[in-house]
Structure 1
Amino acid sequence: MRILVVDDDPLAGEMTGALLEFQGHDVLLANDAMEATHELDSHDDIALIVSDMYMPLINGIELLHMLREQGVMLPFILLTGDTPDDALRQTPGLSACLQKDAALDTSLERAVAQALGA
């Protein structure tokens, strides 16, 4: 599966991408919402989006809403450095909201499998 990872922190994006590649996925990286929309326009085989929450200009939730308005209905997993509250976890259209912590490798693997219906 090809997964788009959106994170304004290149190191964090590469680390998330490495976790996903280790799990057998093909990963594309984008540094912001504009790059994400470009990658989505350029690659029709993207199956899932994993986005950081806190990015300048357009945050992860705003990116989700923007994509939904454009008709992009791909599964969307949000990552945050904070402990996500119930309101954030229950955002309509969000497949999962995960904290970037020591257990991210297993929680991300589970969330990806669930989002992709595996």
Structure 2
Amino acid sequence: MKILIVDDDPFAGEMASVILESDGHDCTLVESGLAALELLGDDSDGFEVIISDMNMPLLSGLELFRELRDQGIATPFVLLTGDDPAPLHQQEPRLEACLMKDASLEHRLPSLVEHL
């Protein structure tokens, strides 16, 4: 599966990429929501899942999600956060999932991606 990972923290983004690539997925990592918008504008059909950090400068993960939906891009979107994910998912119920960045991510993220 071709996956776009959006995270301004290179270590966290690389960690998500390694987790998913070890399951055989093809991951592309970008460091901002703006870079993701630019990439998706060129190739919106090329990615099967988008995984984004919530807290990023200029454009948060939630703002990125909303902008993509406004542009008609309906690619499944997973939001990762260091905070409690429940309020974010309640705030934007159209998200496919909202996961906490914690030790369980290594097991939960691959199974979620397979489910999508």
Give unpaired runs (5+ residues) of structure 1.
none
The letter for the 2-side match of 1:35 is A
CA distance in 1 between counterparts of 2:37 and 2:58 reads 14
Match of 1:57 in 2: 58
1:45 correspondence with 2:62: no
Match of 1:84 in 2: 85
Deviation, 1:42, is 3.4
CA distance in 2 between counterparts of 1:3 and 1:114 reads 14
Q: What does residue range 1-118 of structure 1 map to in structure 2 within 5 Å?
A: 1-43=1-43, 44-85=45-86, 87-90=87-90, 91-115=92-116
CA distance in 2 between counterparts of 1:76 and 1:6 reads 11
SS state at 2:35 partner: helix
The letter for the 2-side match of 1:2 is K
Deviation, 1:36, is 0.4
CA offsets per residue over residues 25-79 of structure 1, 9 Å max, x none? 0000111111101221333321010000000111011100000000010000000
Give unpaired runs (5+ residues) of structure 2.
none
CA RMSD of aligned residues (A): 1.2
| TM-score in terms of structure 2 length | 0.91
SS state at 1:49 partner: strand
Aligned length: 114
Moved over 3 A (4+): none
| TM-score in terms of structure 1 length | 0.90
Deviation, 1:106, is 1.1
Deviation, 1:13, is 0.6
